[in-house]
Structure formats: structure tokens, C-alpha cells
């Protein structure tokens, strides 16, 4: 076969593979992703019960623990709107009031139930006071 | 001291600006003295930064709370070892570490190449000084580590307890070394493009630095994973966090470069590809730093409040824009001398390996930035979790291991059927034999893990075959014993055999990841003393609670530990393990004198019994809710008696109260919650990382041939100087 034709075929095959991979990646990402919401957005949007959201915000002071379950509220990073959350399971060590957390939640009644093992707290190595907001 | 430190940073900034101007003028006007002066400006920058670095370290050692950074990141109860590491837990301290390492590595490369690469050097040093100017500028104008505390501070906030781990001494400097070392090949690639000196010489000269960057970053990543595994209470080592991903991306592109560069050196091919990989690696290294400091993505590692996003974004935009413009304008000089003759050749397999590595990098990049992409497309931020990453990364990693097995044994240019048969039969049989044995042993729960073990055996067998043949050939021409012949073989071709060792390390690491993620057993349980839980083949029994006060070196209380002793049994063999949760006192003045010891930071001390076969891992979450009444009672009593007690009496009674509380917990413990795990072959991951590091060091160690080249270059430079002096221009 003509070498230049051979190269063209190789190039087309490689390009097709790359496009396929990128397409599959985009499709999978959009279909398997979770919406990230702040408490005020969740409160305003009337979320679908049973649908999973990724809640991002700060822990409101005054949370309580009963056995394995922790009851707390999460507020906006730079705001006061908050939503109640219950979470069952071990909390990460840095979990504290006013710390920023990310947790997957599902609305059940008036409460957002955290998905087990999904709660992460921002790395405390970097939690020097917010110079812009405090 | 504050002023001296700040002055050093200003000097470093001025040196960087002067150095850029001198280097560029020297290159433009062909004035060597200006180029040399620019180089010396880099030495001066490194010197000034070193003084600033030492000044800040001394402030941490002396707990000098006049330094705002020291007051907010250290305390007198922080052990000395961790005071030394506390600097880089702060934004400004970590930037200073960046500049310190950049100055050091840049000085080293500019010193080593002062008699070589004379055309490239001025531009390369201008780029390196540009990075120096950027980081010293940030330290002078935006985030100074030499700010004075606004008011006198008696005690600092202390280093966060989670960072009180030996890993803190090595992990951040290793990552930063990787990032800063990648600036060197980036700078020389830019210089090669500007000057159109696009042969392999700049690649050869910077190769030890590229390899050192690759080793440092790779080792830093593994150390971070290890730290997470034994320090955090979730029992994992990788969670696809944006900042973790940011360190992985330049490592992947650098791995691709280290392979494809061999094709350029040997056959003059892939020049555009190689230079693009180097430039991309440099950009991705800065991107990692940007992600930590911009707050653009939700990362658990990101700095809480940073205003450095915009400057970093501008730097990245300049790097990307400049790189694209340079590559596009030099496309004619970057044409390959040859083409791939056959898909069955080493070049083709290396290219496949490159495409797989770049595809992996793309998947990680896509996942990392997906929230922003999704927001741009749908108007809502969306996140993807580990399953999406794994869906793409696992098959790509399997193909990569397959290419790793074929690449080193297949012939250059065009492999014949006999070449393939001769080199691939035995490794393939070894892989199939391992697969058969594993199936016979019942390891069939995970197809991907089984495939990974099979391919790993294929790779290792290929390396053993190569070593065996090499030793046999050496012994045929010398009378060396097998071990001596093996050492001689590796010494004579460090790059090749170091690379093979790296391959063995990588597949060892992959085997550990495959086994630990496919066959892990986890249970979250609440247990009372005497109760047991079964996890995999192991029985965990909560033997007794533990409670202890830990004083610091200065006699003050550093932490209180509430924990548990566990007995782990398997096949009649018993082991005792201890795990605890440590409570560090809060500096919050609004808390009561007793409760401040329970409302501060906590860390989990994980119980870990590691072996090549299985890791037994346990973490406790003690329930101290029942102590709350007593703690509040104690606060009230101390409040009432505050005026009647001297500070010494207050300290004494507080110690008594805390001892009473710990004693009460140990005597009458409530059920404690445990996370219990049995993780197969996690040790293989750390072992693999170590083998990769050793292989990388062997591959990058300067060879005698390299030393000869340096001597020749020095001689050529001296002759050139003499000729220039004697012949009037």
C-alpha cells in the first residue's frame, strides 16, 4: 500500500479512537454526575425528593450527635441561608462548626439525608481565616 | 528579623528582574558578560531566598510569635520536628518553599550548563528568572511570610494536628521539588524553540533534571497516598480530589516525554510531540499550584481564602499562549527526520504508550475540570465521583501495562515474527501461568484485577528475561559471577536497566492498587468492650478502652487520647492493636477551661498491622457525649473559682479534672464506633513506589559517558574562548 495512504488511514483510526473516547467520557460524565448546590440554591429550587445533590457549604455552629447520627445545618459559604442535614456514620476528623464541607444528600421530608461515606471536610492545613470575608 | 526577611525577598525580586533584562540583552547584543551577569542574578536570587527561608525557619524554631505566620501556624506545644515543617502549612510559607526550591534547582542547572548550551542558556535563564520574579513578586506584594502580628501573642494557634506526621517533612518538599524541577525542561524547551536549536542536545542536558522532577513528584504522590492511608480515618489512599489530580497530570505527561524522547534521540522523530509534552508538563505543574490557591474548584486541599487565583491564571495563560505561538511558528524546524516504518516496532509501541498516558492525563483533566465545564454547558456545577474516573482509567491502565511489557523487548524499526516469538513467548507464558494459578486458587471475583495480575507477570517476566540474557552475554565474554555480571550490566547501561526497574516498580504498584481496591473488606460497627466483629477472615475484639493525657516537651498538655485496644485473630494467631482519637486544646477564648480540651482539633491514630499479604486497619471514634455533663460542670466550677485561684493552682486543678475525666471514661466506657478494614496487598503500593524511585535514580545517575561529554564540552568552550581572544572580531 502507498505509504502516504497508510499514514492517512492510521491517522483517521487514531483520531476516531480519540473522538470515541472523548465522546464516551463526556456522555458518562454528564449522565453520572451530581449537581453541586449551595444551601440557598437548594432552598430556592424545590429539589426533587430522592434525587442526589452535592451540598457544598459551611457547618452551622450547634450540631448534635446521637449515637451514629449527627444532626447539623449547612449554610452558604458567604451567606446565612441554611438547610438541615442528618448524617449517619463516622465524621472526618476536621469536621467542625464553620468548616466547609462537601456531602452528597437526598431530600427526605424537610431534611437532607447525607449519603454514608460521602462527607468530606476541607483540608485543615489551609484553613487560615478567610481574609476577604471575616 | 522580620525586616531582614522581607529585605531578602525584595532583593530576590530585584535580582530576578535584573537577571531577565541582562540575559535577554546579552543574548540580543551577543554580550556574554551580560548573560553571565544574568546567571549570577539567579545565584543571588537563590542566596537571598535561602536567607529568607532560614530566617523564617528560625522564627518557627524559636516560636517567635512576632511573625504572624508563626503565630497562626505553630505554638510552644508543637514538637520541634513539626515546628520545622509548619512553615509550608501556610500559604505564604509554601510559596517561599516554592521559590527556595526553584532558586536552588535553577542555580544548579545554570551552573552545570555554564560552559554548554551557550545559545540556549540566556533564554532559559530568563524564563527561570521569570518564574523567580513571579513567585518573589507574590511574596513581596501579595502574601508576605514576614508580616508582623497585629498584637502581642503569648501562644500560637499551633500546627494543625492532622499535619503532625513525619510525612509533612517529606511529602510537600517532594511535590514542590517535582513542580519546580519541571520548570527547567520547560525553560530549555522555550529557549530551544526561540533559538531554533531543536536537536536533542537540550533534551540530553536537562534529562537528569526531568528525571529528578519525575522521581520527586512520583515519590511525593505516593507519600501523600501513604499519609492519607495511615493518618486519616477513611482507610483510603486516593480519592480523585482536584489537588491530587493536579499532581498526577504533570507526572503522566512527563512519563510520556521520558519515553518518547528516546525516539527523538535515536531516530529524530516526534519533535513537535516531545516539545509539546515538555511545555504541557510545565503548564500542568503550575496548574497544580493554581488549583491549591485559587479556590476555583472544591478541593479538600485548597487554601481556605486565597486571592492568588488571578495572578496564577495570568501566568498560566501566558505560558499556554507563548507555548502555542512558539510551537506554531517553529513547526518547519520541528519536522521529523524519519517516519514510523511499522506498527510492529518499538517506536510504534512507545507512541502507543504515549497516547495512553496522554489519554489518562486527559481523563484526569476532564474529571478535575468537569464542574467548570458542566457549569459552562448547563449553567449548573456538577461533579463526578471516583466510579467515572475508574471506568476510564482502569482499561487505559491495563493497556498501558500491556505496552510496558511489549515495548522494551520489541525491535526498533520493524519487528519480525521470529523477533516477536523469541522475545514475547516466555513472558506471555509466564503471564498465562500466573493467571491459571490464580484461577485455580479462586481469585476470580474481579476480572480486571485478574487481568492486571496476568499482565504484571508478563511485564516482570519480560524484564527478568532481558536481565538474564544480558547477564549471560556478559558472562560469555568475562569470567564474572552472575551477581557481579548483573551489577556490571546495570552500571554499563543505567538508563536502560534503571527503566526496567521502574517498570517493575510500576506494575508492583498497580498490582497493589488492583488487589486493594477489588478485594477490600470494610465494616463500620459499634462495639462494647468484649464484643467482636468479623471482617473478612479476621475477628476484631474490643478488649478495653484507653485514655491518656499527653504532655508536650514544655510540660503543658498537648493532647488527650481516648482509644481502644483491639485483639485481632486469624487462624488462631492473635495480635493486639491500639487505636485512639486525639483531642487537641482549642485556642478559642470563648470556650470553658475544661471544654476547650474537647472542642479543638481531633486526629485519629489508626491501628495498622501491615504485611505483604494483608493490611489490618482499624480506627476508633470514641463516644465522649456522656462526658459532656461533667465537662460543663467543670467549666462552671472553674468559672466560679476563677478569682480565688492562682494560675498555678488553676493549672493543677485542671490537670486533676482532666485526669478524672479520662479515668471515668476508662472505667465506664460507652460503646465506641469502629471502622475495621482488611486491605489486601496495600504494602505493594508503597513497595512499588520505592522500586520506582530506586529505578529512577539508577536511570538518572550520571554515566561515565556523560562525564566525558562534559569534559569535551569544557575543552571545546576553553578552545573557543582562546580563539575568540586571539582572533580580533
Chain A residues whose CB is inside 8 A of the B292 CB are 126
Considering Cα of A94, then A99, then A104, then A105, what sign does the dihedral take? positive
By the 8 A CB rule, do B605 and B580 touch?
yes
Q: Quick: pLDDT tens for B296-337.
A: 676 666 655 567 888 999 999 999 999 999 999 998 888 877
Mutate to test the interface with A, among B89, B292, B298, B562 (most CBs of A within 10 A): B298
Q: Cβ separation of A32 and B388 shorter than 8 Å?
A: yes
Mutate to test the interface with B, among A17, A33, A64, A98 (most CBs of B within 10 A): A33
Residue A21 lies in a domain: yes
CA distance B559 to chain A (A): 14
Please report, rounded to a whole number, the percentage of residues in chain B having pLDDT higher than 90.
64
* pLDDT score, position B552: 79
* pLDDT score, position B299: 67
In eight-state DSSP terms, residue B115 is T
Residue A52 lies in a domain: yes
Q: Quick: pLDDT tens for B204-250.
A: 888 889 999 999 999 999 999 999 898 877 778 998 988 889 999 99
Measured at the CA of B169, the angle between CA B164 and CA B175, to 5 degrees, comes to 120
Residue A83 lies in a domain: yes
By the 8 A CB rule, do B159 and B83 touch?
yes
Residue A131 lies in a domain: no
Please give, one letter per residue, the 3-state secondary structure of B359-375. HHHHHHHHHHHHHHHHH
- Judge if A29 and A71 occupy the same domain: no
Residue A132 lies in a domain: no
* pLDDT score, position B504: 97
Instruction: Look at the block and give the residue holding cell 445545618.
Output: A73
- Judge if A97 and A67 occupy the same domain: yes
CA distance A109 to chain B (A): 24
- Judge if A16 and A63 occupy the same domain: no
| Counts for chain B of helices (H) and strands (E), in that order | 21, 10
Of A28, A33, A92, the CB nearest to B374: A33
- Judge if A69 and A94 occupy the same domain: yes
Between the alpha carbon of residue B722 and those of residues B32, B111, B374, the distances in Å are 14, 21, 63
CA distance B613 to B615: 7
Chain B residues whose CB is inside 8 A of the A124 CB are 160, 162-163, 601
Q: Give the number of other Cβ atoms within 10 Å of residue B537's Cβ.
A: 11
Q: Cβ separation of A35 and B307 shorter than 8 Å?
A: no
Q: Cβ separation of A129 and B381 shorter than 8 Å?
A: no
Measured at the CA of A80, the angle between CA A78 and CA A85, to 5 degrees, comes to 105
Q: Cβ separation of A33 and B89 shorter than 8 Å?
A: no
CA distance B608 to B606: 6
Chain A residues whose CB is inside 8 A of the B621 CB are 90-91
Q: Quick: pLDDT tens for B643-683.
A: 788 878 888 888 888 999 999 888 888 899 999 999 999 99
Chain A residues whose CB is inside 8 A of the B370 CB are 29, 33
Of B305, B392, B602, the CB nearest to A130: B305
Chain A residues whose CB is inside 8 A of the B72 CB are 128-129
By the 8 A CB rule, do B365 and B419 touch?
no
- Judge if A60 and A85 occupy the same domain: yes
The rounded Cα B233 to chain-centroid distance in angstroms is 21
CA distance B514 to B400: 14
Between the alpha carbon of residue B83 and those of residues B5, B56, B73, B91, B148, the distances in Å are 18, 11, 9, 16, 18
Q: Could you tell me which residues are beta bridge partners of residue A66?
A: A69
Residue of A nearest to B89 (CA): A125
Considering Cα of B35, then B179, then B296, then B304, what sign does the dihedral take? negative
- Band of the pLDDT at B717, cuts 50, 70, 90? low
The count of domains in chain A is 2
Q: Cβ separation of A33 and B619 shorter than 8 Å?
A: no
Least trusted range by pLDDT, from B10-24, B100-114, B334-348, B467-481: B334-348
Listed by number, the residues of chain A in 70-129 with a beta carbon closer than 8 Å to a beta carbon of chain B are 89-94, 96, 100, 102, 117, 120-129
By the 8 A CB rule, do B533 and B676 touch?
yes
* pLDDT score, position B301: 64
Helix (H), strand (E) at residue B619 = strand B614-621
Residue A82 belongs to domain with CATH number: 2.40.50.140
Residue of A nearest to B675 (CA): A90
Q: Is the ipTM of this complex over 0.95?
A: no
Three-state secondary-structure class, residue A94: coil
Residue A18 contacts B, CB cutoff 8 Å: yes
First to last CA, chain A: 71
Chain B residues whose CB is inside 8 A of the A14 CB are 355
Residue A133 lies in a domain: no
By the 8 A CB rule, do B68 and B94 touch?
no
- Judge if A103 and A59 occupy the same domain: yes
pLDDT exceeds 80 at position B711: no
- Judge if A61 and A106 occupy the same domain: yes
Q: Quick: pLDDT tens for B36-80.
A: 999 999 999 999 999 999 999 999 999 999 999 999 999 988 889
CA distance B653 to B645: 9
- Judge if A58 and A98 occupy the same domain: yes
Residue of A nearest to B340 (CA): A7
Q: Which domain holds residue A58?
A: 35-126
Q: Quick: pLDDT tens for B599-646.
A: 888 889 999 999 999 999 999 999 888 888 889 888 888 888 877 888
Count of pairs with CB atoms under 8 A, one residue in A, one in B? 130
Least trusted range by pLDDT, from B294-303, B391-400, B479-488, B510-519: B294-303
Q: Cβ separation of A22 and B160 shorter than 8 Å?
A: no
* pLDDT score, position B11: 97
* pLDDT score, position B200: 81
- Judge if A56 and A117 occupy the same domain: yes
Amino acid at each position: 500500500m502507498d505509504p502516504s495512504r497508510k499514514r492517512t488511514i492510521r491517522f483517521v483510526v487514531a483520531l476516531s479512537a480519540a473522538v470515541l473516547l472523548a465522546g464516551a467520557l463526556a456522555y458518562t460524565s454528564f449522565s453520572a454526575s451530581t449537581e453541586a448546590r449551595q444551601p440557598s440554591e437548594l432552598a430556592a429550587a424545590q429539589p426533587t425528593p430522592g434525587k442526589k445533590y452535592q451540598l457544598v457549604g459551611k457547618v452551622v455552629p450547634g450540631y448534635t450527635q446521637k449515637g451514629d447520627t449527627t444532626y447539623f445545618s449547612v449554610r452558604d459559604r458567604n451567606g446565612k441561608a441554611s438547610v438541615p442535614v442528618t448524617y449517619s456514620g463516622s465524621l472526618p476528623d476536621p469536621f467542625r462548626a464553620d468548616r466547609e464541607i462537601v456531602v452528597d444528600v437526598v431530600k427526605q421530608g424537610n431534611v437532607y439525608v447525607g449519603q454514608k461515606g460521602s462527607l468530606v471536610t476541607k483540608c485543615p492545613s489551609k484553613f487560615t481565616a478567610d481574609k476577604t470575608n471575616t | 528579623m522580620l525586616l531582614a526577611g522581607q529585605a531578602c525577598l525584595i532583593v530576590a525580586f530585584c535580582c530576578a528582574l535584573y537577571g531577565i533584562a541582562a540575559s535577554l540583552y546579552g543574548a540580543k547584543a551577543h554580550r556574554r558578560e551580560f548573560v553571565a551577569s544574568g546567571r549570577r542574578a539567579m545565584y543571588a536570587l537563590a542566596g537571598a531566598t535561602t536567607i529568607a527561608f532560614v530566617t523564617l525557619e528560625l522564627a518557627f524554631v524559636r516560636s517567635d510569635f512576632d511573625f504572624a505566620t508563626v503565630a497562626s501556624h505553630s505554638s510552644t506545644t508543637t514538637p520541634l520536628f513539626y515546628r520545622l515543617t509548619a512553615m509550608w502549612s501556610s500559604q505564604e510559607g509554601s510559596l517561599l518553599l516554592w521559590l527556595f526550591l526553584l532558586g536552588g534547582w535553577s542555580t544548579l542547572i545554570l551552573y552545570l550548563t555554564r560552559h554548554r548550551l551557550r545559545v540556549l542558556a540566556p533564554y532559559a535563564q530568563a524564563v527561570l528568572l521569570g518564574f523567580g520574579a513571579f513567585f518573589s513578586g507574590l511574596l513581596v506584594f501579595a502574601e508576605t511570610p514576614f508580616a508582623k502580628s497585629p498584637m502581642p501573642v503569648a501562644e500560637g494557634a499551633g500546627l494543625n494536628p492532622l499535619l503532625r506526621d513525619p510525612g509533612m517533612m517529606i511529602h510537600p518538599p517532594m511535590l514542590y521539588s517535582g513542580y519546580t524541577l519541571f520548570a527547567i525542561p520547560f525553560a530549555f524547551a522555550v529557549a530551544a524553540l526561540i533559538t531554533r536549536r531543536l536537536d536533542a542536545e537540550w533534551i540530553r542536558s536537562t534529562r537528569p533534571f526531568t528525571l529528578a522532577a519525575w522521581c520527586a513528584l512520583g515519590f511525593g504522590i505516593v507519600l501523600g497516598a501513604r499519609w492519607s492511608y495511615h493518618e486519616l480515618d477513611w482507610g483510603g489512599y486516593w480519592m480523585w480530589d482536584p489537588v491530587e489530580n493536579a499532581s498526577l497530570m504533570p507526572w503522566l505527561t512527563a512519563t510520556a516525554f521520558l519515553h518518547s524522547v528516546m525516539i527523538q534521540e535515536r531516530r529524530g522523530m516526534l519533535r513537535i510531540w516531545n516539545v509539546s509534552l515538555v511545555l504541557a508538563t510545565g503548564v500542568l505543574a503550575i496548574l497544580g499550584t493554581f488549583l491549591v490557591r485559587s479556590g476555583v474548584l472544591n478541593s479538600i486541599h485548597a487554601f481556605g481564602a486565597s486571592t492568588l487565583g488571578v495572578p496564577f491564571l495570568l501566568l498560566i495563560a501566558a505560558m499556554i499562549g507563548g507555548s502555542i505561538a512558539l510551537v506554531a511558528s517553529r513547526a518547519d524546524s520541528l519536522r521529523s527526520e524519519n517516519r514510523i516504518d511499522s506498527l510492529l516496532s518499538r517506536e510504534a509501541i512507545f507512541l502507543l504508550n504515549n497516547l495512553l498516558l496522554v489519554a489518562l492525563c486527559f481523563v484526569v483533566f476532564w474529571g478535575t475540570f468537569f464542574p467548570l465545564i458542566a457549569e459552562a454547558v448547563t449553567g449548573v456545577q456538577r461533579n463526578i465521583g471516583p466510579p467515572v474516573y475508574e471506568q476510564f482509567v482502569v482499561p487505559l491502565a491495563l493497556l498501558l501495562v500491556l505496552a510496558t511489557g511489549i515495548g522494551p523487548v520489541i525491535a526498533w524499526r520493524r519487528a519480525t515474527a521470529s523477533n516477536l516469538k523469541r522475545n514475547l513467548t516466555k513472558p506471555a507464558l509466564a503471564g498465562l501461568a500466573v493467571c491459571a494459578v490464580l484461577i485455580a486458587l479462586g481469585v476470580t471475583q474481579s476480572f480486571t484485577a485478574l487481568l492486571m495480575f496476568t499482565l504484571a507477570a508478563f511485564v516482570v517476566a519480560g524484564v527478568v528475561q532481558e536481565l538474564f540474557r544480558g547477564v549471560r552475554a556478559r558472562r560469555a565474554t568475562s569470567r564474572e559471577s552472575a551477581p557481579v555480571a548483573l551489577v556490571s550490566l546495570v552500571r554499563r547501561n543505567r538508563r536502560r536497566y534503571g527503566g526496567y526497574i521502574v517498570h517493575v516498580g510500576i506494575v508492583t504498584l498497580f498490582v497493589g492498587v488492583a488487589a486493594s481496591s477489588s478485594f477490600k473488606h470494610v465494616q463500620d460497627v459499634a462495639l462494647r468492650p468484649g464484643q467482636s466483629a468479623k471482617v473478612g477472615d479476621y475477628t476484631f475484639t474490643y478488649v478495653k478502652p484507653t485514655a491518656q493525657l499527653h504532655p508536650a516537651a514544655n510540660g503543658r498538655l498537648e493532647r488527650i487520647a481516648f482509644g481502644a485496644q483491639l485483639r485481632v485473630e486469624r487462624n488462631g494467631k492473635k495480635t493486639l492493636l491500639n487505636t485512639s482519637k486525639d483531642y487537641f486544646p482549642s485556642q478559642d477564648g470563648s470556650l470553658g477551661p475544661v471544654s476547650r480540651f474537647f472542642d479543638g482539633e481531633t486526629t485519629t491514630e489508626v491501628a495498622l498491622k501491615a504485611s505483604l499479604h494483608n493490611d489490618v486497619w482499624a480506627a476508633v471514634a470514641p463516644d465522649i457525649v456522656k462526658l459532656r455533663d461533667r465537662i460543663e460542670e467543670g467549666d462552671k466550677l472553674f468559672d466560679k473559682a476563677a478569682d480565688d485561684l492562682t494560675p498555678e493552682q488553676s493549672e493543677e486543678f485542671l490537670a486533676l479534672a482532666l485526669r478524672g475525666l479520662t479515668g471515668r471514661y476508662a472505667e465506664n466506657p460507652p460503646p465506641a464506633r469502629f471502622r475495621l478494614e482488611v486491605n489486601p496487598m496495600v504494602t505493594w503500593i508503597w513497595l512499588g513506589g520505592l522500586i520506582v524511585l530506586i529505578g529512577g535514580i539508577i536511570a538518572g545517575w550520571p554515566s561515565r559517558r556523560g562525564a566525558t561529554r562534559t569534559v569535551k564540552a569544557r575543552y571545546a568552550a576553553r578552545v573557543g574562548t582562546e580563539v575568540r581572544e586571539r582572533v580580533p572580531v
